[in-house]
Amino acid sequence: MIVALFSLVISFFTLWFAHLRRPNIRALLEPKIEVYRNFEAEGGLGVLAIVTYANKSLQTGIVVQSSLSLGRENSLVQPIEMAWNEFNKLDPQQKKYVYDEHVHALTVPRNSTVTKQIWFHCFDPNFRLDQAKYVLTLSYRGEKKGDMRQVRRKFAVSQELYDDLEHDRKNRSSQTRQIQLEE
């Protein structure tokens, strides 16, 4: 009797972990992002983030939506929201990021990772990065409604970076600038 009950419990846990447990997707942000002014889209700010989605489950998972919010640290002002817009890839001949495909839901197979270079766009031409500390929040959602998860990273805009960004804005240049994220 005890052996049969023990065997039944082991079978249930095996069934749960092998077939019934839902996907467990986590996102990781690379330690650097790139920012630029997109003057073709009315001067809005763009952010290139390399994001790795990891699925630690035996079920295939789906990332339906991702977005970035960007705001000053300890500020009462609502952070700006940026929707994912397109996937990019690095072109080794041109040594720059080029369009890969329009954004779509991502399938993350069981016990694996998917890494994408994603452009996030803000279409507010008045938003500027000043010399301050910022909080960058990556929000992503799986296939289940209400399953929004977040990853937060901080960064600081130095005087040198601020000067470069202002120069780009005044000269309507779409030069990309790298920003190191804090752990």
Q: How many CB atoms lie within 10 A of CB 161?
A: 18
Residue for token pair 């940026």: 82
Judge whether residue 41 has pLDDT over 60. no
Judge whether residue 95 has pLDDT over 70. no
Q: For 84-93, 102-111, 115-124, which range has the lowest pLDDT when averaged over its residues?
A: 84-93
CATH 2.60.40.10 is the classification of domain 24-180 = yes
Q: What is the largest CA-CA distance in the chain?
A: 81
- Residue 65 CA to residue 146 CA, distance in Å, equals 12
Residues of the chain above pLDDT 70, percent: 91
Express each pLDDT in 113-163 by its tens digit.
999 888 888 777 777 888 899 999 999 988 776 678 899 999 999 999 889
Residue extents of the structural domains in the chain: 24-180
Predicted local confidence at residue 19, as pLDDT: 65
- pTM, two decimal places: 0.79
User: Higher-confidence residue: 34 or 42?
Assistant: 34
User: Higher-confidence residue: 19 or 84?
Assistant: 84
- When mean pLDDT is compared over 51-55, 79-83, 89-93, 115-119, the highest value belongs to 51-55
Express each pLDDT in 1-23 by its tens digit.
788 788 888 887 777 666 666 78
Name the token pair of 30.
Answer: 């690379």
First to last CA, the chain: 53
**With contact defined as beta carbons under 8 Å apart, do 162 and 129 qualify?**
yes
